[in-house]
Amino acid sequence: MKCDVVFSIMALREVAFFSRVARYLEQAGYKVGFVTFHEAGDRVLAAEGWPCFSMQKLAAREAREAASEDLAERLERTYGVPLIRTLLVHDRLTLNRPDEAQLLGKAARYFAVLDSIFAENDVRCVVQELGGFIANQTVYYSSRHAGVRHVFVEPSMYPGRVFFSNALFAEIDDARPVADEARQASQGAVSAYLASKAVNIPSKDAHHFSDMGLSRLFAPSNLRRVGRKLYHKYVTREREEYNAIATAVLLNVKRFLRRQALRGIYCHPAPAEKYVYYPLHVPHDVQLFVRSPEYVSQEALVEYIGRCLPYGYALYVKEHPAAIGAHSLGATRNYLRARNTKLIHPRVNSYALIENAACVVTVNSKVGVEALMQNKPVVVLGKTFYRGQGITHDVNSLGCLSEVIRQAIGRPPSPNQVGDFLARVYAATYPGELYVGSEEKEREFATSLMEFVQSGREASPLTEEHALQ
């Protein structure tokens, strides 16, 4: 069949949102289909009359090839995967599935099924939320291999706007002219941030941004989600990607217990103390696993950063608000042995930490952009859209970190350069939000997606080989 746009689906909220977005595309003359990794979602889509390729069912019928070096090398060579382990690691750690041979076989089956889908159907474009699981990455690499346009969607740093990218790694195009409206809108967003001292939190992630107490552990939405997954897994026997239920529940219990254990360890900023600020990432974030995998071990990185600071400077570390209690207690205590390293209480406003810092060190966090908005020096370790723009101090080798930090302290970016860059970022985004269940927002997202697809516009893609260097 012909599909102008195929949405790749991994969860029920994606089914609900993208099926409604698809209606607007259908009304505009697009032929729409779905690639799904969620069997309960298959039922919903089938009831609504959408063409659906059920990956769980199709992969189950696919012949199982024994995991081997030859298989790994063939997948890397055929699909342009720089290293097969980078494709497997998110499932392995996030879903607690340590058997690499099993994961390699799963990836091979997904690749084979997707090859058949693209070979036997006229698919023009595939759209999915940015993610680092085997499902997300096989869809991306298979699309590219088949010559099918692929679009990742991720929230923008600007409220109510999204970023569409054709690659796992993308840069903001610095050659495209910026309209006055985009420049003014960007300036308005920066002014709003400076006035409110609060960063934009995407609606889809808002439920994660709260302290790890009993109210969050036993939140009704969490209980409903667990109940639904148990029903699908053990009653209807419907498969999905996120079905490691015991692992997820245990992880949240551990986060709660760690949060309690950290009560006596958290610090508050000391008056007049000179410090460098490092914001921790969500441990299993795609920003680390896919875009900067060399920095996955953040606790070891924090310990090293602390050793790289000039004498007289402290290192302030703060957990990501969506991952309070998510880091190993042992590893945290290890880097806190250095008296110049402090774990800041999660209720301390990140804006104030940036405001009073000598500089901010980050892998690729959006806190780096917040620091630029405050005209603070930013030291960048990993691959990110604001690296290499002449407004940050970029680290090419960790051996040079201490030197780069010394150079950064007291050398803020040019406000004009930062303003120009942020205007280009705004111009590269589109109106819309993921998973906001209102007719107005769904129509807005659909309109933006159609505009992006019709324009052929792309962020400047990097090869994965380049990005991993």
Q: What is the mean pLDDT of the chain?
A: 90
CATH code that applies to domain 2-173+428-467? 3.40.50
The token duo for 310 is 């000039």
- Residues 23-79 pLDDT 10s: 999 999 999 999 999 999 999 999 999 999 999 999 999 989 899 999 999 999 999
Evaluate if residue 174 carries a pLDDT over 80: no
pLDDT at 299 (0 to 100): 93
CA dihedral defined by 19, 24, 30, 31, rounded to 10 degrees?
30
Scanning 324-399, the segments in alpha helix (DSSP H) are: 329-336, 350-356, 367-373
Burial 333-369 (b: 16+ CB within 10 A, else e): eebbebebbbbbebeeebbebbebbbbbbbbbbbbbb
> Regarding predicted confidence, which is higher, 457 or 341?
341
Looking at domain 263-423, does it have CATH number 1.10.1070.11?
no
pLDDT for 464: 41
- CA-to-CA distance for 225 and 229, rounded, in angstroms? 6
Nearest to 143 by CA among 106, 108, 114: 114
The string of DSSP codes covering 93-144 is HHTT---HHHHHHHHHHHHHHHHHHHHHSEE-EEEEE---SHHHHHHHHHHH
Say if residue 419's pLDDT is above 70: yes
DSSP state of 206: G
Neighbours of 180 (CB within 10 A): 8
- Which one-letter amino acid corresponds to residue 5? V
List CB contacts of 433: < 8 A, sequence separation 6 or more: 155, 160, 161, 162, 202, 203, 204, 441, 445
Would you kindly state where each structural domain of the chain is located, as residue ranges?
Answer: 2-173+428-467, 210-260, 263-423
The rounded percent of the chain whose pLDDT value lies above 90 is: 72
Residue 280: count other Cβ atoms within 10 Å of its Cβ: 23
What are the C-alpha distances in Å from 237 to residues 35, 45, 234, 240, 311? 20, 18, 5, 10, 59
Query: Is there a contact between 262 and 31 (Cβ–Cβ < 8 Å)?
Result: no
Cβ burial of 229 (10 Å; 0-12, 13-18, 19+) is buried
Helices (H), 279-398: 286-289, 298-308, 329-336, 350-356, 367-373
DSSP H helix total and E strand total for the chain: 20, 17
Would you place residue 177 in the very low, low, confident or very high pLDDT band (cuts 50, 70, 90)?
A: confident
- At 179-219, the pLDDT tens digits run 899 999 999 999 999 999 887 665 555 555 567 778 888 88
User: How much of the chain exceeds pLDDT 70, in percent?
Assistant: 94
Q: How confident is the model at residue 458 (pLDDT cuts 50, 70, 90)?
A: low
Taking residues 309-333, what's their average pLDDT? Answer: 93
* Strand (E) or helix (H) holding 21: helix 12-27
pTM above threshold 0.85: yes
Whole-number pLDDT of residue 468: 31
